[in-house]
Chain A
Amino acid sequence: MKIKHLLLVSVLAAAPFSHARTVVTADVDSLDTVEQRLADDDNFTFTESQLGENDDITSDVIQINSNNNIYLSQLGWAWSGIWFKFRALDNAYNDVYMNGVQVNNPENGRFSFSTIGGMNDAVRSKEDVGAFEGNNYSFSGLGGSSNYNLRASQMPAGHKVTLSGTNRNYTLRGMYTFATGMGKSGWAFAGTVGYRWANMQTAAIKGTFYNSFSYFLALQKQFNEKHSLNIATWGSPTERAAAGASTDEANWLANDNNYNPYWGYQDGKKRASRVVNNFEPSLLATWDFYINDDMKLTTSAFLKLAKYKTTKLNYNGTNPHPDYWKRFPSYNYNVWDFDPELNYDYDAYQSSYNYWQDESYRQINFDELYFANRQLSKVGADAIYWIEARHNDQLMTNFSTSYDWNFKKGMKWSIGLQLLSNRGSHYKTMADLLGGEYFHNTNTYLVGDYQQTSKEAMYDVNHGYQRIIEGDRFGYDYDLWNQDVKLWTNVNIDRGIMHSFITAKIGGRRMWREGFMRNGLFQDHSYGKSEKAHFLDGGVKIGSILNLGKGHAITAGVGYELKAPGAAVAFMCPEMNNNFVQNLANEEVVSAELGYALSNKWLRLNLTGYYYHMGGGNEWQQFFNDDAASFSYNSLSGVKKEYYGVELGARIKITSSLDLVALGTYSEARYTDNTKVEWMNSTTGILQQDICHNKGMRMSGTPLAAASLGLNYRIKHWYLGVTGNYYDRIYLSYSPNLRYETNMYNAGRSHGGEYDVPEQAKGNGGFMLDANIGRQFTLWHNPLSINLQLCNLTNRRSITTGGYEQSRSNYSVSEADETSTTTKRTYNFEKNPKKFYAQGFNFMLNLNYRF
């Protein structure tokens, strides 16, 4: 009875936000699915892969969901183990709102779900919509939108304790939630605290740990029938060690597909070199004004002060990382094929293989780095190894107001305004000199071409030949500013058998850079404010659901959008100067979707096809170009891409206690034309132009084909499920650099104007079997539930979850940056992409107790 009461309260709390969910699902919502129970039991709000905590690649997935579409509602649960990306879209196409205010980082468009990890109860109430579903809070993104309801009154009254044990990123998790519900006095309080923990002995991947505390507090005052004010604050201060991708050769040598090169031993203790510290305390105030039964005004103000830093072992000299390419056996011997132009040293190959069998060789030797730095300090020399912290701090202030009006039966109109200002502070600090005394703030890549003490080699001429000690800023220090204004409107019309919506938006963005170091190579345009770039963007989207009767429905939608670029791609070389990239432009997005839905007592089915075209966008990346012994900054402009595919979701109710869920997708997501590229090396400061032959390259880090079949069984208080998943067509992130015309010429891939473009590296797909079992008990008159998830039961470790091609080439160039004499390398970078593999068998045990 009490459970029913709690559910009722939850439903009522969510009711004001549920109108987008009401069309097709009415007669099947009573299906009591295993997934819903799991969600109720806290097992599944975010899996580790969905937190986007991989630093090497863009692994942030989209938290898509929809009650209107069985495929959308299930895929996050079913395919989280493979870091599945909805429609292969970047997280930037998924808009996230909190009480109506958009919280995506405008610099890159993304939202980091890790910032709300560990507070599952607080973020359980949300309204999810797909790209072509009407709603009352936004112009929905291509990857859908979510609006989290963070009002104190929405959380069920009572206490709840959750304890979890797992062998994933973290080992233990504890959460406690308390909520009063809306009291007679008009006050509601809700809060949750959580803690997730693993140390280096317990974490699933060697050399990592996890230390995260989470809190959420909300206080709501219902002043009267019309006015309510809610204040919410939350944060998730997290300290964790990151793991890195590795080549198959490294994994083979370490006998571990999850080999992590980012840790080592110091004084006999394990030490991680890449430690992420992240804390994004947020404050949200929301005023709900119920003007009358048909009108509502929702106004929110949001403030976030995010502190993010990630450390990295850096060096001036020999790369001390154990997976440096010259340390591999195949550096000495071409294991891929015989090339008569190369001679091989098999003895060296064997020696290297033998060295790798020793763990101390395949991990970082911190003691030696300390020793080297200590020795150098004896002769007054700079440290050559250090751990630096790369900071990315955000100060975001947002304001939103939206007005809903049920102005006619079956017609709803929403209009809203969003104002946003974001300052992204990017700088490096010296975290640990590893026994050294100091380091000079000098671009060591330039030393040689310029004297060590020359202005040109200084990272900050204003401070001269500056000694850096621990805690000092060095290298780069700049702010990126984004300021947005957006006006949107949404009209939902229910008329007869048709539910339609039309939504539109118009917005403006301006951005600029402010540098705090006067870089020696760009003394006139690196310090102070840059020019300001202005963009006008907007879009329109329409969609309809046509109920054909007897549970049949057709859905359709089309959209056109101009999407302004973010500051993350707007500057050619933000670490060094104020210059914008050339050809910076809005991305043009054309989208369409057509679907069929069937819903009856025993079957719920969705079949959807979609097509997206994107043109004119910008992409940006930096990497170390060893042909030039320099960092290289690269800007692609006029990028053209297309995404299309078909998706199927079906739930078949076999008996009252048994149902079968089937999911499947087959999609394409690729560049449709070659792209102009401008690049600049940090050692020269000279802008170069080229053509990148990226036509046909696929989006990476997700299966473009996936299928799933699951059986869910419920009897009395037990529930269990078994799901088999199959993944295929997994591509790794392509390296543009390998496909520049100049570089392909150097590589001997140019034949009379025709280019033999390297094929994009692929990962392995495969089959994965998951299961779960749970039971609900009554303990001291209160509900206790226990659930056990078992993932990858067959311990398949060969399935690739992501990775990237290395940007280095298979030859060395005798004269940097020029088409010049090349020498083949024995080591084959093209054959050695870096990969992440799915974790083997893993589990999660959860206990929930409500009282």
Chain B
Amino acid sequence: MKTQSFIIALLAGAFALTACQDRDWETPEGISTQPPYGNNELVAGTTITIAELQAKYANTIKSNEYKEITEDLWLRCVVTGNDIGDNLYKQITVQDETGGIIIGINGSDQGARMLVNQKLLIRLQDLFIGGYGEQAQLGIKYWNRKYSEYQIGRMEVPFWEKHVRLIMDGSPEAAAFGNIKVDTLDFDASKTMAEQGGRVVRLTGVTISGEGTQIIAPDDGSVPPIGGCINRTVSGGNAGSNCILRSSTYATFKGIAIPTGPVEFYGIATKYRDSWQILARTQSDLTWVK
């Protein structure tokens, strides 16, 4: 009898064991409409277009300086480029109908939070705007150790998250946000930074050339990298006279071969002083349509 009692106690204990504490976790509710990234409390005030913003700070950008945005201004835009291809490093690019701009964020894998075509509402107040190589960029002032000076740089993720709201498709906010039509421009070397910088462009009939191993971004030492990137000359077609394809040696597409003959490809146009630098986002930008 005592033995039976003991076995009953044993079974009761075994039953208690079934109450595991690390249960099967379900996907958190509501993250598809109220994302756990950014600031879902933001409500737009006075909006400004990218073109208007760049015009307002044209001199600051042109002189590669920076300035804090102190007015209560808001930007409605969509993401056009991110770090999913490991080519844009700690940056995203956004566009609206009027223009494009780079946003520097000091964090990796931001593309996993902000996919291409993700709608963003950005509160500009307290952010900094400035120029780097005359290319407009949003961010925060950053201490450049190399030059011992402040420049426009990348903002910390928590700071950025306080200033951005992701507008998710299907959410009530999406309807109020409306659609933003983003065009892919045909690259035109004669355009200004404000007209073309930070935007998705198409280059057609162009030839790509460069030294060393004939892939986009070799890291075998056959070409000395500049800032961790390999520059390939883009000529012919609509490339103009001073255009390069700039790719990181960490890019997921770094190993694809340089095409022979004229091709078409896509990328983000960025201004660096007198030259245009095209940044491919993923391998799909470099399918080399002939």
Contact = CB atoms under 8 A, between A and B. Distances in A.
Given A266-B25, A267-B28, A267-B29, A375 B250 contact: no
Interface in A203-238: 209, 211, 213, 215, 217, 237
A376 B22 CA distance: 26
Contacts of A355: 156, 158
Nearest to A379: B115
A736 to B, nearest CB: 29
A152 B3 CA distance: 13
Interface of A: 159, 176, 178, 180, 189, 191, 193-195, 199-200, 209, 211, 213, 215, 217, 237, 239, 241, 266-267, 271-272, 275, 311, 317-318, 342-345, 347-348, 351-352, 355, 361, 365-368, 370-376, 378-379, 381, 384, 432, 435, 447-449, 451-452
Contact of A371 (B2, B35, B142): B35
B17 A266 contact: no
B57 interface: no
Contacts of A275: 22
A371 B36 contact: yes
Contacts, number: 124
B13 A195 contact: yes
Contacts of B132: none
B150 to A, nearest CB: 9
Contacts of A343: 143, 145, 148
A763 B21 CA distance: 34
B20 interface: yes
A355 B255 CA distance: 39
B2 A180 contact: yes
Nearest to A189: B3
Nearest to B7: A191
A374 B31 contact: yes
Interface string B24-60: 0111110110011100000000000000000000000
Contacts of B250: 448
Nearest to A342: B145
Contacts of A266: 25, 28
Contacts of A213: 13-14, 16-17
Nearest to B5: A178
Contacts of B158: 351, 355, 361
Interface in B63-109: 84, 107-109
Pick from A193, A217, A272, A355 the residue with the most CB of B within 10 Å: A193
A120 to B, nearest CB: 15
Contacts of A447: 252
A795 B183 CA distance: 66
A191 B35 CA distance: 53
Nearest to A178: B6
B10 A376 contact: no
A373 B31 CA distance: 11
A239 B19 CA distance: 10
A311 to B, nearest CB: 8
User: For this complex, into which size category does the number of interface residues on chain B fall?
Assistant: 35 or more
B112 A451 contact: no
A448 B219 contact: yes
B161 to A, nearest CB: 10
Contacts of A241: 21-22
A342 B10 CA distance: 64
Given A343-B148, A370-B31, A374-B31, A384 B109 contact: yes
Contact of A452 (B20, B35, B252): B252
Interface in B187-215: none
B273 interface: no
Contacts of A159: 2
A199 B143 contact: no
Given A178-B2, A215-B10, A345-B143, A195 B16 contact: yes
Contacts of A449: 219
B271 interface: no
A347 B36 CA distance: 26
B180 interface: no
Given A193-B9, A193-B13, A375 B25 contact: no
B270 to A, nearest CB: 23
B37 A318 contact: no
Pick from A193, A345, A355, A375 the residue with the most CB of B within 10 Å: A375
Contacts of B3: 178, 180, 189
Interface string B160-178: 0000000000000000000
B21 A451 contact: no
A317 B10 contact: no
A497 B13 CA distance: 53
A176 B142 contact: no
Contacts of A384: 109, 112
A614 to B, nearest CB: 40
B153 to A, nearest CB: 10
19 contacts: A193-B9, A199-B21, A200-B21, A209-B21, A213-B13, A213-B17, A215-B10, A215-B13, A215-B14, A239-B22, A267-B26, A347-B143, A368-B37, A371-B31, A372-B112, A374-B31, A379-B115, A451-B255, A452-B252
A373 B115 CA distance: 11
A452 B283 CA distance: 12
A621 to B, nearest CB: 28
B145 A372 contact: no
Pick from B25, B84, B252, B255 the residue with the most CB of A within 10 Å: B25
A23 to B, nearest CB: 39
B110 to A, nearest CB: 9
B159 interface: yes
Given A271-B25, A347-B143, 9 more contacts: A191-B6, A217-B10, A361-B158, A371-B37, A372-B112, A384-B109, A448-B219, A448-B250, A451-B255
B158 to A, nearest CB: 5
A345 B142 contact: yes
A733 B109 CA distance: 33
Contacts of A451: 255
Nearest to A823: B145
B28 A370 contact: yes
B290 interface: no
A384 B28 CA distance: 17
Nearest to A387: B25
A88 to B, nearest CB: 35
Contacts of B5: 178
B29 to A, nearest CB: 6
B181 interface: no
Pick from A347, A367, A435 the residue with the most CB of B within 10 Å: A367
A629 to B, nearest CB: 10
Contacts of B113: 368, 371-372, 375
A374 B32 contact: yes
B254 interface: yes
A760 B80 CA distance: 50
Contact of A193 (B10, B29, B84): B10
